[in-house]
Chains A and B, each alone.
Chain A
């Protein structure tokens, strides 16, 4: 009998806390890929310059920052050319902002899917992060070109770059799952996100060097995992003076906490998404 091979699925009431079903998530990895692919496809349809926007956004922000903060305000940039100093931070930052804004709204935007088909709901915010990562890679190419232009060579610390990327990913996914699950109940989230992004931008040393904060504020900055990411990117790629010290451990711990809270809340609310959305 072939029936023996068929998987058995059991449905029962689900209340309260549930563990992460990694096996199921792994089985739907292709779906995550397809959702990211759809976002990529749809985002730049009917635009004149298409995927160039993925590069243009951080690049234009960098130009504005260079003029306003680097030129007019004369902010210091750890001895690096200001445009490079800003861009090395903006590339991971734009990735983070993309994840934050897109995944915050992702469940609501995919309402018709959630109320009609079953699949692990985590695939949706994961798909957003994956799509953001592709933009990030494109922007990284420009960053590399700028490093060549300014004649800045990475040091051996570049080997640690994946660690900082992972830190950014963890934070982005954590905040993304938390906001997307909350937005199912409270549409207020969509209004909170722009403020959150603005506030977070000022709390992250993108336009300025982290050294402008005296201690103990300098250490408190480490509570913001994105500060660790930005400093880490500059240090490992451009060889900036300020090597991330203990604050990177603090950043890491905070990022893991955010992800844990995000996943727990997401899993807790997941069962009622279809009823409450």
Chain B
């Protein structure tokens, strides 16, 4: 199987919940937790502290393939890259790859602010696996690509953030490994440089190198990759040619019906029984136009009298970006502080003319007053999805259909003014 660059079999990684949140683990923390939960039985203890960030990942990547990895936030994309780049070790499973691997989980890893651009290129190159000779050969190309040649001997702490990012990306883009693993690095720099980066990555792919490219940017994935893989909740959900996968990924949201019903829960004092997206008039629907408000109805059951419970609605874009959110008490000051047992309905309305077209998801939650403890939460693929279509008539507009995330109109006014005095010096 010499034409495979990467092969994984049942790769999985288990993390302990909480460890990421506590940045330090000290003896004092141990004592502090003893004081707050003297018998070691905090409410959180009921949950299994271990969770699988990714599991059962089995896939092959042929040599020369540019594979895009897509998925919502928290799907395990970064964990997968960390495993393949050997930053962390798997809990189970097996993977092998042929050739030298370079990873780019972050631009500017190991950059030191006190060092000059040239010095940082040397250091960063060495960290990413280049030898002294290889660095010397490439240093001019790297400086030129980053457009920072005149600042080569200036400490990078004096660089603008754009210059810094450009330099950092250029080092990585000139590594020329057999396998390149890239995570979200295109979110750097100005649009022109992003285009240049995409071009450079495309070249890397064309040179027959294998590239693993993680991105939220569906357009970039479509443009660069041959194949794509969708991760969701740590599992591979879809895999195939990039066109098939991105299409299936986007339409998987559209298939969802407006209404989702949930089983009663006996383990919680309150639970969500129904989520439905409706028009302003209350008609259930999952397709909206940009001039309509989108209403989320959260029906919930209070099993026993509850003080200070909160209902939350969060809005996400299809790629998992958190857009906005509200609690019932914020949005509705007359929301009751105490609820007797019974059935309730909260309606959250998202205004028209704000979001551009695309697929979106509402996620709903019932929690205690400050969200210290969740009673019920729904973020799965089967609920809260809706599609928005921009039906604005752009025939008389200069720009045509917007490609921005938001459609919110801006005000503009114009007047005649005096000429500015010429700037001297």
Given A31-B126, A34-B127, A117-B85, A41:B98 Cβ within 8 A: no
Chain A residues positioned under 8 Å from B95 (CB to CB) = 10-12
Interface string of A6-47 (1 = CB under 8 A from B): 111111111000000000000000110010011001100110
Task: Report how far A133 CA is from B251 CA in the complex, Å.
Answer: 62
How many chain A residues have a CB neighbour from B under 8 Å? 38
Chain B residues positioned under 8 Å from A14 (CB to CB) = 89
Report whether B105 and A116 are in contact in the complex, using a CB–CB cutoff of 8 Å: yes
Report whether B26 and A118 are in contact in the complex, using a CB–CB cutoff of 8 Å: no
Query: Is there a chain A Cβ closer than 8 Å to B119's Cβ?
Result: yes
Query: Is there a chain A Cβ closer than 8 Å to B416's Cβ?
Result: no
Q: Which of A9, A34, A116 contacts B106 (CB 8 A)?
A: A116
Given A112-B109, A115-B87, A116-B109, A34:B126 Cβ within 8 A: yes
Query: Is there a chain A Cβ closer than 8 Å to B92's Cβ?
Result: yes
Least CB separation from A4: chain B residue: B2
Task: Report how far A159 CA is from B63 CA in the complex, Å.
Answer: 56
Interface string of A173-194 (1 = CB under 8 A from B): 0000000000001111000000
Task: Report how far A116 CA is from B78 CA in the complex, Å.
Answer: 10
Query: Is there a chain A Cβ closer than 8 Å to B19's Cβ?
Result: yes
Which one of A12, A186, A276 has the greatest number of beta carbons of chain B within 10 Å? A12
Chain B residues positioned under 8 Å from A31 (CB to CB) = 126-127
Given A3-B3, A46-B114, A113-B127, A11:B25 Cβ within 8 A: no
Given A34-B126, A112-B109, A185:B25 Cβ within 8 A: yes
Q: Which of A3, A13, A187, A188 contacts B89 (CB 8 A)?
A: A13
Q: Taking the nearest CB of chain B, how far is it from the CB of A184, in angstroms? A: 9
How many chain B residues have a CB neighbour from A under 8 Å? 49
Query: Is there a chain A Cβ closer than 8 Å to B27's Cβ?
Result: yes
Chain B residues positioned under 8 Å from A41 (CB to CB) = 114-115, 119
Q: Taking the nearest CB of chain A, how far is it from the CB of B214, in angstroms? A: 14
Given A9-B97, A10-B94, A117:B87 Cβ within 8 A: yes
Query: Is there a chain A Cβ closer than 8 Å to B112's Cβ?
Result: yes
Residues 211 to 256 of chain A near chain B (Cβ within 8 Å): none
Q: Which of A8, A11, A45, A275 contacts B86 (CB 8 A)?
A: A11
Report whether A30 and B105 are in contact in the complex, using a CB–CB cutoff of 8 Å: no
Least CB separation from A32: chain B residue: B126
Report whether A10 and B2 are in contact in the complex, using a CB–CB cutoff of 8 Å: no
Least CB separation from B88: chain A residue: A274
Chain A residues positioned under 8 Å from B96 (CB to CB) = 8-11
Q: Which of A3, A6, A38 contacts B115 (CB 8 A)?
A: A38
Residues 102 to 133 of chain A near chain B (Cβ within 8 Å): 112-119
Residues 89 to 108 of chain B near chain A (Cβ within 8 Å): 89-101, 103, 105-106
Least CB separation from B103: chain A residue: A117
Query: Is there a chain B Cβ closer than 8 Å to A271's Cβ?
Result: yes
Q: Taking the nearest CB of chain A, how far is it from the CB of B105, in angstroms? A: 5
Report whether B131 and A30 are in contact in the complex, using a CB–CB cutoff of 8 Å: yes
Task: Report how far A274 CA is from B81 CA in the complex, Å.
Answer: 13
Task: Report how far A82 CA is from B99 CA in the complex, Å.
Answer: 60
Q: Which of A3, A11, A186, A275 contacts B15 (CB 8 A)?
A: A275
Chain B residues positioned under 8 Å from A7 (CB to CB) = 98-100
Q: Taking the nearest CB of chain A, how far is it from the CB of B56, in angstroms? A: 14
Report whether B91 and A117 are in contact in the complex, using a CB–CB cutoff of 8 Å: no
Query: Is there a chain A Cβ closer than 8 Å to B122's Cβ?
Result: yes
Which one of A13, A117, A271 has the greatest number of beta carbons of chain B within 10 Å? A117
Task: Report how far A118 CA is from B27 CA in the complex, Å.
Answer: 29
Query: Is there a chain B Cβ closer than 8 Å to A1's Cβ?
Result: yes
Query: Is there a chain A Cβ closer than 8 Å to B110's Cβ?
Result: yes
Given A3-B3, A3-B98, A11:B109 Cβ within 8 A: no
Chain A residues positioned under 8 Å from B24 (CB to CB) = 187
Report whether A11 and B83 are in contact in the complex, using a CB–CB cutoff of 8 Å: yes
Chain B residues positioned under 8 Å from A11 (CB to CB) = 11, 83-84, 86, 89-90, 94-96
Q: Taking the nearest CB of chain A, how far is it from the CB of B312, in angstroms? A: 31
Report whether A186 and B99 are in contact in the complex, using a CB–CB cutoff of 8 Å: no
Q: Taking the nearest CB of chain A, how far is it from the CB of B207, in angstroms? A: 13
Report whether B115 and A42 are in contact in the complex, using a CB–CB cutoff of 8 Å: yes
Query: Is there a chain A Cβ closer than 8 Å to B148's Cβ?
Result: no
Given A10-B95, A42-B115, A274-B88, A113:B109 Cβ within 8 A: yes
Task: Report how far A117 CA is from B85 CA in the complex, Å.
Answer: 7
Report whether B27 and A13 are in contact in the complex, using a CB–CB cutoff of 8 Å: no
Which one of B92, B112, B155 has the greatest number of beta carbons of chain A within 10 Å? B112
Q: Taking the nearest CB of chain B, how far is it from the CB of A32, in angstroms? A: 9
Report whether A118 and B87 are in contact in the complex, using a CB–CB cutoff of 8 Å: yes
Query: Is there a chain A Cβ closer than 8 Å to B128's Cβ?
Result: yes
Chain B residues positioned under 8 Å from A42 (CB to CB) = 112, 114-115
Chain A residues positioned under 8 Å from B83 (CB to CB) = 11
Task: Report how far A105 CA is from B115 CA in the complex, Å.
Answer: 21
Chain B residues positioned under 8 Å from A6 (CB to CB) = 98-100, 178
Residues 170 to 202 of chain B near chain A (Cβ within 8 Å): 178
Least CB separation from A15: chain B residue: B89
Task: Report how far A276 CA is from B57 CA in the complex, Å.
Answer: 23
Task: Report how far A118 CA is from B129 CA in the complex, Å.
Answer: 9
Task: Report how far A168 CA is from B279 CA in the complex, Å.
Answer: 77
Query: Is there a chain A Cβ closer than 8 Å to B402's Cβ?
Result: no
Question: Can you offer 27 A-B residue contacts whose CB atoms are under 8 A?
Answer: A4-B2, A11-B86, A11-B89, A11-B95, A13-B89, A13-B92, A30-B132, A31-B126, A38-B119, A38-B123, A42-B114, A42-B115, A45-B155, A113-B110, A115-B105, A116-B105, A117-B85, A117-B109, A117-B127, A118-B85, A118-B87, A186-B26, A187-B25, A187-B26, A188-B26, A188-B27, A272-B88
12 further A-B contacts with Cβ under 8 Å, apart from A7-B99, A12-B89, A45-B114, are: A8-B96, A8-B97, A10-B94, A10-B96, A11-B83, A11-B89, A12-B94, A42-B115, A116-B103, A116-B106, A117-B85, A272-B89
Task: List 5 A-B pairs, minimum CB-CB distance, nearest first.
Answer: A118-B86, A34-B126, A6-B99, A11-B95, A116-B109
